[in-house]
């Protein structure tokens, strides 16, 4: 089975570049070009429009993406299942993951999982809620470690309840009181991370009809944390996020208290690859409180 042409195509789609796909696979530029050209000849139509900036899909190419993802996933499953039958575990496991989970939990989790299954190669794709939904909808990952997706149809395994807290400077009155009324978030300069990405903040804004005084927006929670530390405003995030960070920041529970369920989302448990099933079993057996 030669899945390399499908892998090359999908990597070019995900990276928007034949060069990037070639580098990932260890191919030459001419080699990856030959593979894609051969696939286009086989199909009878072009898949990409090429330019100096990279490649973008033709309309026919867009039609083929979900089909090729399904073919590639099925071929990977065949390889993993046959290896499983022979008593070995090989292949690639692709995991979508929140930034917070990736930095706080995944290094420890993957170290233990890799010790049990050293033949598996693991690819970690980080992102926000919207990114996880996209990964799951297009089935470009085996599973996602995230909050319950809002738009993707998935099988869901809840793992941990993470509290959403306010980040305030340590000399802030709420730090001394040990609580912040959620409606008081609108009374001070606010720093918002990933606005419009379906974050916890977006959810609470909608749920409580908040009109925040957003003075700054960032694409990085650590940047937001340091801005709070420097007295530029207050913010919100999951308690897990700043578990290993330090600064002039107090984490204050909200009133009413808010929690977000974190877990494993799978496009289909029944169709999951052997590697994904082993990872899910491994995660379910973990005591996450011990990792905090």
Per-residue pLDDT averaged across 101-112, rounded?
A: 90
Burial 249-262 (b: 16+ CB within 10 A, else e): bbbbbbeeebebeb
Give, as one character, the DSSP assignment of residue 149: P
- 220 within some domain: yes
Question: The whole model's pTM is what?
Answer: 0.73
pLDDT score of 87: 59
Mean pLDDT lowest among 52-56, 57-61, 166-170, 285-289: 285-289
Q: Rounded to an integer, what distance in angstroms lies between the CA atom of residue 165 and that of residue 257?
A: 8
CA nearest neighbour of 235 among 171, 180, 155, 154: 180
* Higher-pLDDT residue of 149, 250: 250
- 250 within some domain: yes
Q: What is the mean pLDDT of the chain?
A: 90
Is residue 86 over pLDDT 60?
A: no
pLDDT of 188-243, one tens digit each? 999 999 998 888 889 899 999 999 999 999 999 999 999 999 999 999 999 999 98
pLDDT of 241-287, one tens digit each? 998 899 999 999 999 999 999 999 999 898 888 889 999 999 988 87
User: Are 259 and 165 within 8 A, CB to CB?
Assistant: no
Task: Judge residue 152's burial from the number of C-beta atoms within 10 Å of its C-beta, 0-12 exposed, 13-18 middle, 19 or more buried.
Answer: middle
pLDDT score of 187: 94
pLDDT score of 53: 85
Percentage of the chain beyond pLDDT 90 is 61
- 252 within some domain: yes
290 pLDDT band, cuts 50/70/90, is low
For 223, the domain range is 161-260
| CB neighbours of residue 224 within 10 Å | 27
121 pLDDT band, cuts 50/70/90, is confident
User: Are 50 and 93 within 8 A, CB to CB?
Assistant: no
- 65 within some domain: no
Strand 120-127 and strand 91-98: the pairing is parallel
Q: Which helix (H) or strand (E) holds 133?
A: helix 129-138
- 213 within some domain: yes
Between CA 168 and CA 202, with CA 208 as vertex, the angle to 5 degrees is 70
- 215 within some domain: yes
Q: Rounded to an integer, what distance in angstroms lies between the CA atom of residue 33 and that of residue 47?
A: 12
Percentage of the chain beyond pLDDT 70 is 96
Domain count, the chain: 1
- 53 within some domain: no
CATH code of the domain covering residue 245? 3.40.190.10
pLDDT score of 234: 97
- 179 within some domain: yes
Strand 155-169 and strand 249-266: the pairing is antiparallel
Is residue 10 over pLDDT 70?
A: yes
Task: Judge residue 236's burial from the number of C-beta atoms within 10 Å of its C-beta, 0-12 exposed, 13-18 middle, 19 or more buried.
Answer: buried
Mean pLDDT lowest among 46-50, 99-103, 157-161: 99-103
292 pLDDT band, cuts 50/70/90, is low
């Amino acid at each position: 089975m030669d899945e390399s042409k499908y892998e090359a195509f999908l990597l070019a789609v995900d990276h928007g570049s034949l060069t990037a796909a070639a580098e990932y696979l260890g191919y030459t530029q001419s080699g990856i070009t030959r593979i894609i050209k051969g696939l286009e000849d086989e199909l009878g139509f072009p898949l990409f429009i090429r330019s100096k900036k990279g490649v973008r899909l033709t309309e026919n190419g867009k039609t083929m993406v979900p089909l090729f993802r399904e073919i590639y996933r099925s071929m990977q499953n065949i390889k993993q299942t046959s290896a499983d039958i022979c008593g070995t575990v090989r292949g690639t496991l692709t995991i979508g993951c929140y930034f917070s989970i990736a930095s706080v939990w995944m290094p420890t989790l993957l170290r233990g999982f890799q010790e049990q299954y050293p033949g598996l190669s693991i690819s970690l794709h980080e992102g926000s809620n919207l990114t996880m939904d996209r990964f799951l909808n297009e089935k470009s990952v085996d599973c996602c470690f995230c909050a319950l997706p809002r738009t993707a149809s998935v099988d869901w395994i809840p793992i941990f309840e993470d509290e959403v807290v306010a980040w305030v400077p340590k000399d802030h009155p709420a730090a001394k009181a040990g609580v912040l009324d959620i409606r008081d978030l609108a009374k001070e300069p606010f720093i918002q991370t990933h606005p419009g990405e379906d974050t916890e903040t977006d959810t609470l804004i909608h749920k409580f009809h908040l009109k925040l005084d957003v003075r700054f927006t960032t694409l990085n929670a650590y940047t937001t944390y340091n801005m709070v530390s420097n007295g530029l405003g207050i913010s919100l995030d999951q308690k897990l996020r700043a578990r290993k960070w330090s600064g002039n920041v107090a984490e204050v529970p909200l009133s009413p208290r808010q929690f977000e369920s974190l877990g494993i989302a799978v496009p289909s448990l029944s169709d999951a690859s052997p590697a994904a099933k082993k990872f899910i079993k491994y995660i379910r057996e973990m005591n996450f409180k011990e990792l905090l």
